[in-house]
Every structure is written in structure tokens, then in C-alpha cells.
Structure 1
């Protein structure tokens, strides 16, 4: 039943995408409302400046409306929007040093949610140690490995979706993920 509803949602979303291409403003609003939270969370996972992320998202939807007649067809609107957002963010960070600084700043500002107030005292020391180790391990990864880890584990995309998102072949995604996980294991 759930896959049928999910399939119907996808069809509705693709119909809205086609209506947007035809210039129907309510379709743009539907797509915006459906994906704004995911886009914002994804953007903040790449760029630790929420105001800049909001600006980029606004630019994306302005561009969607401005160029609606020339939009490409897509089979996954969410991935299309993620790709637009990541392109905008990475155009801001033109070289590896800037990308590394963005990711390191994000890791320093991450706020981990604990189970409950009662468990905070018990788990605090252990969680701090694990966060520090993970943060140090992630900072040490090359940018592409960080990006694969982000898509696969934080955004929960499939390997195939990650391949499309990063414009690399599926084998490269598996290789990057394996190398990243191996490096993280060595850190622990």
C-alpha cells in the first residue's frame, strides 16, 4: 500500500513539474512546499550558513520560474533540486581549500540530539568522545569522500542516486564510499 501511495506521489510531483514547465505558478508553489525543508537541511549539511542556504534556495526557485519554459525533464524532482543547490554551493567554494573550510565549520557547529534529559548525563562523556573522533575522522577525508558519505548516510540517497547527483559512475561511488568507510574505521 505504501509503495502505491509513494508511486502516486511521484506521479503527482512529475505532473506538477510538467505544469511548471508550462508556466503554472501553483505547480511551482507545490514543489516549493514539498521540498523546502529537505533542501534547507541538505544545504545546511554542505554550508554552515543558514542565511546563505536560504538565499540559494530562493535563487533556485526564482530561476525555476524565470526559465520554466526551458526546464529539462526529470524523473526525480528532489534530486534535481538537490543538484541545483549543490551546484550553487560549490560555485561559492571554487577550490578544495574553501570546500574543506565549509565542511569543517559545519562539523564544529553540528548539534547532536540525545535521547532524553535523563540519558544526557550518562551518555555525555561517551558521546563527546565519539563526536570528536568522528569529526576529526570526517575532516581528514578528501572532499569527494565527504560528499559521498553525506549523500549516502545523512541524506539517505541510494548509490544510484548518489552517482547521478555527483555526475560519476556507480563503481566510483562504491569505491569512494568504501575508501571513506575504511578511513573512518581506522580512526576508531
Structure 2
């Protein structure tokens, strides 16, 4: 179902509520519209939680299949994007929890997708890029997710609490710990380089 890039088709300016009503009325155009509109964002979110492309693609597909399967009983929601993000987050965490041995750590593939924007910020230095990727990969999956939602997707702390299924204070705590870990790691790298180059 996931194709990597949106294909031509549904009007991406159509109101989400219209798509939702179409889904509830068994009109596949609604499902296709939401899929095309949000697949890229969902994929980026999924990769921030778990850097396993196949797993993320499967989970996105499963979210949409479940929505279609339960289309006659799903309730209206005032923020469909948040609903989709929360469903995907829950699905990925559930899958990761099923097999910690197989999905226990973030995949190195994450670097190419998630850190593209960071590469621009830190310049073309390969060493600095590598250090940044290692620092991000050192975060827990939940810390990684909250940083992605805050700084890549520009969600509010309140929205993130809904997506991740935790209270707002926990979001603040996760974000603070993640930033503290990143800062600490970069300070250590800086001290090492100063000592090495002295």
C-alpha cells in the first residue's frame, strides 16, 4: 500500500472531515484521500519511533486497514491527523514490544531519512554529521519520538501527549531528558576533540 511518494489522485485540499465521512459511508475515495495526504508524515513519524522501514510501512498499512475494517463503528474526531499519528505510534510500540530482541534498537537506516535536515544545519562535515547521528541514536525510542514530533513535525506538547498517550508533564520530562542527553554527548565530544587536537 505504501508507495513512497504521493500519487496523483485525491485533492489534498479536501477537508479531513469530508474524507472521514466518506470512509464512514464506505466510499474508498475518503480512505485514498487520507492515505495520500498523510502517508509521508506518518512515515517520518514511524521512522522516528523505530528505524525499520518495513515495520513502519506495514504499520501504516495496518492503521489504514483497521480504519477501513471498522469504518461503520469509528467515531467522529475533531483532529484526524492526530488520530492517525496516535494510531501509528500505538501500533509501532505494540509491534516493537512483541519482539524486543528483533526490534530492540534503532536501525542505522534512520540516519539517511531523519537526519537529512540536521545535515544541512551542521554543514557538510562528515564527522559532525556522524556525531549528531550517534547522539540521536543514543536516545531511547520515546525520547527520539518526542524530539521528532517537537522539532520535525512542530507539534505542541499537548498534541504530543495525545499522540504518545502520555500526560503533558511526561512529554516535557521526555523532551528535557532527550535534550540534556544530546547536550551532554556533544559536550563530551567537544572535550575529546579539544584534548585530542591540543
Range 47-56 or range 14-23, more displaced: 47-56
Q: Output one character per residue of 1:44-102: Cα deviation in whole Å (capped at 9) or x when no partner.
A: 3333343433332222222211110111321211121122222222222117665541x
Unmatched 5+ residue regions in structure 2? 1-12, 187-198
Unaligned runs of 5+ in 1: 1-8, 116-122
- Rounded Cα–Cα distance in structure 1 between residues aligned with 2:133 and 2:35: 32
Residues 88 and 28 of structure 1: CA distance in aligned 2, closer, same or farther (over 3 Å): same
Q: 2:22 aligns with which of 13, 19, 28?
A: 19
Q: Which moved more, 1:165-174 or 1:142-151?
A: 142-151
Q: Are 2:36 and 1:33 equivalent residues in the alignment? A: yes
**1:40–1:142: structure 2 CA closer, same or farther, 3 Å change rule?**
closer
2:85 corresponds, among 82, 107, 110, to 82
For 1:40 and 1:65, the matched residues in 2 are separated by: 19
Residue 116 of structure 2 corresponds to 112
CA distance in structure 2 between the partners assigned to 1:132 and 1:184 by the alignment: 13
Question: Against the structure 1 CA distance between its residues 73 and 99, is the aligned structure 2 distance closer, same or farther, given a 3 Å change threshold?
Answer: farther
Give the distance between the partners of 1:49 and 1:183, measured in 2 at CA.
23
The question of 1:167 aligning with 2:165 is answered yes
Q: Is the 8 A contact 1:100 1:139 kept in 2?
A: no
| Contact persistence 1:45–1:106 (CA under 8 A) | no
Alignment partner of 2:68 out of 58, 65, 76: 65
TM-score (norm 1): 0.75
Instruction: Give, in whole Å, the separation in 1 of the partners of 2:144 and 2:46.
Output: 14
| Structure number with higher helix proportion | 1
SS at 2:72 equivalent: helix
